[in-house]
Structure 1
Amino acid sequence: MPAGPLTARRLAMGGLCLLSLVVCCGLAWWQWNRFESATGTFQNLGYVLQWPLFGLFPAFMVYRITKLRREAAQARDQEPGDAAESRPAPEVPAPRQAARAVVHDEEDDELAAYNRYLADLHARDQENRRN
């Protein structure tokens, strides 16, 4: 995605990133004041270090999404025109048959009944996923 003119959406995203950073830095300052108070703990100091990172996260995500879109556009531009249409479709695995539990005669009757119940539940779940 080439850098174009500033649009309302880009300005809103930039403003949101800046607002996030300002709010989170304010929260970090508040946690610093709590740390310096008589009741402050090292947990407050940990928050002092975390809040600025939380504030930078939206800007990082905008950067990362923009970079991924740009790379996808470059990859799309490098492909020959009809190559995308001539590519084979990805293979879809065939649905598996529901596995039935094998119950041996030596097993406890309650355990065998429970295993049959679980196998029946599994089979119903597989049928529901196919539909």
Structure 2
Amino acid sequence: MKGRLFAPRLVLLHLVFLAAVVASGWLGWWQWERAHEAGGSFQNLGYALQWPLFGGFALFLWYQVVRMVNGTELHRQGESITVPSATGHSESAGEDATERTTGGARRRSPVPPPAPPVTEEEDPELAEYNRYLAELNAAARSR
């Protein structure tokens, strides 16, 4: 997992985030010093307080990238992800919406399984809307 964080394309991204944090820290310090000089103003003081926020945001984005890379790695190792189903019960993501690859790992299908049909007694509005969509689909296929 850690080896993936140090892939060549990610090392450059880590360096860009590091440069952004260092630059925002330096710019914040520079604006702080400028605000205390004879020609300084409240605008300089405002910038001195904003630059560290930009650096903090860069750290937050870096953290999200690291989480995303680690999450992708966990998903590739075949970890099961629990998702809520339409019935309200938790089920593994590997039941209906996945398929097995040659390596034995599960991969999520880009198309979700079709929803069960709704009868007129369960929800009349939804049943009518589904009939309308079926008519549109039939009309589009007949062209």
Normalising by structure 2, we get a TM-score of: 0.49
Query: Corresponding residue for 1:40?
Result: 40
Task: Give the residue type in structure 1 aligned to 2:96.
Answer: A
Q: CA deviation at 1:15?
A: 0.7
Query: Corresponding residue for 2:96?
Result: 83
Q: CA deviation at 1:22?
A: 1.6
Larger RCO (alpha carbons 8 Å, 6+ apart): 1
Once residues 114 and 51 of structure 2 are traced to their aligned partners in structure 1, the CA distance between those partners, rounded to angstroms, is 46
1 or 2, which has the higher strand percentage?
A: 2
Task: Give the residue type in structure 1 aligned to 2:97.
Answer: A
Residue 24 of structure 1: SS of its match in structure 2? helix
Gaps of at least 5 residues in structure 2 are: 81-91, 99-108, 116-129, 134-143
> CA 1:68–1:39 in structure 2 vs 1: closer, same or farther (change >3 Å)?
same
Contact 1:21 1:56 in 2 (8 A): yes
Gaps of at least 5 residues in structure 1 are: 96-131
Once residues 97 and 79 of structure 2 are traced to their aligned partners in structure 1, the CA distance between those partners, rounded to angstroms, is 11
Residue 79 of structure 2: SS of its match in structure 1? helix
Q: CA RMSD in A?
A: 3.3
Indicate the percent of aligned positions where both proteins have the same amino acid.
Answer: 35
Once residues 89 and 19 of structure 1 are traced to their aligned partners in structure 2, the CA distance between those partners, rounded to angstroms, is 48
Once residues 42 and 49 of structure 1 are traced to their aligned partners in structure 2, the CA distance between those partners, rounded to angstroms, is 11
1 or 2, which has the higher helix percentage?
A: 1
